[in-house]
Amino acid sequence: MNDLAINLQNATIPFEEGMALPAYLLDMEADLQTYTAGIGGGFPFLSIKGKSFAVVRDGKRTIVTRPDDPEAPANYVDAIFVKSNPALTKVFYLKGYEEGSAAKPDCFSNDGVRPDPGAPAPQAKSCATCPHNAFGSGQNGKGKACSDTRRVAVVALSSLDDPMLLRIPAGSFKNLAKYASYLSARNIKSVAAVLTRIKFDADEATPKLVFSPRALLGPDVIAEVKRLAATDLVAQIVGLAPMPHDEDDDIPLELPKVTMDDVAKAVAPKPAPEPAEEPAKAAAPKRQAKPKVEVEDVAAATVAPPAAKPAAPVKAAPAEDQDEMNKLLDDLLGEYDG
């Protein structure tokens, strides 16, 4: 047995469920949240699908039943409003929202201004410019395709350590405002100071909530509600803090298979674009073939012709020959005249 085990044996008190804690343990600073913060797992929510109350936890839906009849669904619930998101939140489902479904919306906003960074398929850069946020975009041209809700963290009086989400639909906003005004008129500053009864409006076909006070909460319960309202879990429930990342919640992406050949083709330099085809020009006249010139012809053309020899001087005929020529000439002329 090591020293640590011996010290534990001598310094511990047997742990029993439901045991009364000594005062020095009650005075310890609470640190359980430091061990659970950032760990996924989600939180339950109170569903109002089909005008019946149900708690949805880990995908399992449990109908809230009447205290006097466990077989009959309850037509009201009593709960404490722990905290609310001051901004209207928006939720959009591409295929429409099924009340009570635990499926993550395709697009949502926790501040009513822009899509949340965790939205799988943001529909616009801002909620103000989103076509799904316009009146008339809902089914049959009524309402809005992107629903306005009020996120509220509620807890049962019997389970103060188990807060859950209640999405109050837009059709119940006026009744919620009337309830707040009713409490304010009686000097009650916080809805969290009252045990509130939540029930359905019997005159409405769709779930429309009505609120009424049941009792004021005692000091010990108020202290616990204040502590709970300051936790990260409640901030996540009302959308004022991001949910911790859980690898199991990652959205699977169906990406096309890419081979190494595809990658090589994608990164290969692209050939330069071919120049645009110019209009055809008129064909130039064919050039006449030049006569073939031999080397000898070139040489002959470039050699200067030989200089002409001067004519030999005409020698004067002798006198006897001259007399003979004159006689012949006279005879010729005489024949011509006769």
The pLDDT of residue 130: 93
pLDDT at 296 over 70: no
Instruction: Count how many domains the chain has.
Output: 1
Q: How many CA within 13 A on the CB side of residue 11?
A: 6
Backbone angle region of 296, left / alpha / beta, with phi > 0 → left and psi within -120 to 50 → alpha: alpha
pLDDT digit string, tens, across residues 211-260: 999 999 999 999 999 999 999 999 999 999 887 654 444 444 444 554 55
Residue 62 belongs to a domain: yes
* Chain position carrying tokens 């635990």: 102
Q: Alpha-carbon distance 105 to 97, whole Å?
A: 8
Two structure tokens written together for 338: 């006769």
Confirm whether 163 is domain-assigned: yes
Q: Which of 143, 296, 123, 150 is nearest to 209 (CA)?
A: 150
Can you give the residue range of the structural domain that contains 120? 43-242
Residue 269 lies in a domain: no
On whether residue 265 sits in a domain, the answer given is no
Higher per-residue pLDDT: 37 or 199: 199
Instruction: Say if residues 124 and 43 touch (Cβ distance below 8 Å).
Output: no
In order of 37, 83, 180, 281, the CA distances from 185 in angstroms are: 39, 20, 9, 94
**In this structure, is residue 31 part of a structural domain?**
no
Tens digits of per-residue pLDDT, 2-47? 554 455 455 566 666 667 777 877 777 776 656 555 444 578 999 9
Whole-number Å distance between alpha carbons of 164 and 238: 9
d(CA 162, CA 36): 14
Q: Decide if 291 is inside a domain.
A: no
Residue 173 lies in a domain: yes
Distance CA 126, CA 149 (A): 17
What pLDDT sits at residue 268? 65
Q: Are 89 and 150 in contact (CB under 8 A)?
A: yes
Pairing of strands 159-169, 45-47: parallel
Distance CA 228, CA 82 (A): 7
Tell me the C-alpha distance between 123 and 92, whole Å. 9
Q: Is residue 77 predicted with pLDDT exceeding 80?
A: yes
Tell which residue, 124, 125, 143, has the closest CA to residue 134: 143
Q: What tokens were used for 286?
A: 């064919």
Residue 294, phi then psi, degrees to nearest 5? -80, 165
CA dist 163 and 156 (Å) reads 8
Q: Is residue 19 domain-resident?
A: no
